[in-house]
Amino acid sequence: MGADQRTTPVLTKAQLIELLQEEIVLNKREAQELVDAFFSLIAEHLVAGDEVKLLGFGNFQVRDKPPRPGRNPRTGEPAPIRARRVVTFHASSKLKEQVQACALVS
């Protein structure tokens, strides 16, 4: 099977809402409001430049990247890359251990 034919498992927002309904016994509206509020809070703090730390999961940070020279990959011509803000994620050691333990079992 080629790389483009493989499917990668993905947890979607809708699936997360469904799981909350089952695990915490919330109705769909409550579960959706909870997920939306959670993501909104994270986004608000990142937009404000705050670091978001989720104990046992990881840290989200906003970094300012300076402008730099680049090139157009099609033509090879130089093309400047503008300054921008990016979100980075660093997994906690606890999360890394869980992922590694699961990989060893597979």
pLDDT digit string, tens, across residues 62-86: 999 999 999 999 999 999 999 999 9
Q: Does 59 lie in the same domain as 34?
A: no
pLDDT digit string, tens, across residues 18-77: 999 999 888 999 999 999 999 999 999 999 999 999 999 999 999 999 999 999 999 999
Distance between CA 100 and CA 88 in Å, rounded?
A: 21
- Our measurement of the distance from residue 69's CA atom to the centroid of its chain's CA atoms, rounded to an integer in Å, reads 27
Q: Does 101 lie in the same domain as 72?
A: yes
Position 58 in a domain: yes
The owner of tokens 């509020």 is: 37
Check if the beta carbon of residue 59 is closer than 8 Å to that of residue 51: yes
The owner of tokens 């989200």 is: 60
User: pTM above the 0.85 mark?
Assistant: no
The owner of tokens 């890359």 is: 81
State in Å, rounded, how far the first CA of the chain is from the last one.
20
The number of folded domains in the chain is 2
CATH number of domain containing 57: 4.10.520.10
Q: Does 43 lie in the same domain as 58?
A: no
Position 18 in a domain: yes
Position 3 in a domain: no
**Structural domain that includes position 32:** 11-47
